[in-house]
Structure 1
């Protein structure tokens, strides 16, 4: 399959959160292939170091729940023209089992860092008069998916965050958009939840009955980062094979 090359991404500073595995690793790999200068943050030391060696991207270990550490990692990343707020974790949890500490931790894992990463890169983007912030959402809440209420609450909030930041930053030439993946068959998803029954049900729901993979999302992210989408902001782009 032939895919696009974006000249505007060559040499562009890109920061990807949660970039060591899954969708994030594919995003890192795709930006590196475009000639971008990529820094990615993650807690997984082994996977992060392996991906850095493979792609030439710079790996910065970071627990994104620690906002001071996140700010320090972004400050050390150098000029950032593109922020991809990818990091998240869709651990299942029962309604009855959620306590306040767990609720707060789930929002810190899946939402809070997106705001503080955007806050950290915004001054330089505003000064440059350009920039692209791409927040990763999820179709889970749109599908009324149960079994993880703190996750779906956090992911639904990404849309409001995206639209609010787009208004705040648009006058400075900074664009903010959301990418909404469907069920992406990463190694983790295949290992934990991709039973034959669940896969068959998903294929029935999708207009295009084929499995989605991380590069399908990464290629949408590339377009939103490139100058080709220069007047696109405050939008949500669903990559789900037509399931919603």
Structure 2
């Protein structure tokens, strides 16, 4: 979690350097960072690591005055005297091509650190998944509890082996999916193959035929020790 927070703070620092400090609003699962220049838009950071750059909406606000802070009663009083000061037309009047160019520059400036932040979130989620996977694998093998978490218990050992193979094969083709497959493969090699009900040659041939290019769970990835 510390690495996730550090990566997020780097993104926030990038936003500060780009000028997205005029207003920071927390809204549900996202945080909105508005630029001091309305035409420059706003950046929305989602808790799951996604980012969106968008135009600022048209809005009316009590602008700060020499005698009052933003949106205070004194500031709103100033709107009656100088109403045009309280309307922020935002980027609505900013040309479409100019906006697209600015949006592209903003995305490019933030992309690398946002990607790193997303990777750290994925790392944390995978660590939690792998940590919780051991008890789930044991529950499947010993008691027939499906890895999917629903459905009736799998009575036969053959069905339990098939559930292991199916779960192994359907992980995402990413470094995070590989980590989960490594954990499942390790269980297959250390527990299943040393039990009274190991995978049969026919099951392994069928797996290879159904998933060409995907290594068998009985074959560790190069450089991976059991």
Shared topology, TM-score over 0.5? no
Instruction: Decide which structure has the larger Cα Rg and report it.
Output: 2
TM-score, normalisation: structure 1: 0.25
Higher strand share: 1
Higher relative contact order (CA 8 A, sep 6+): 1
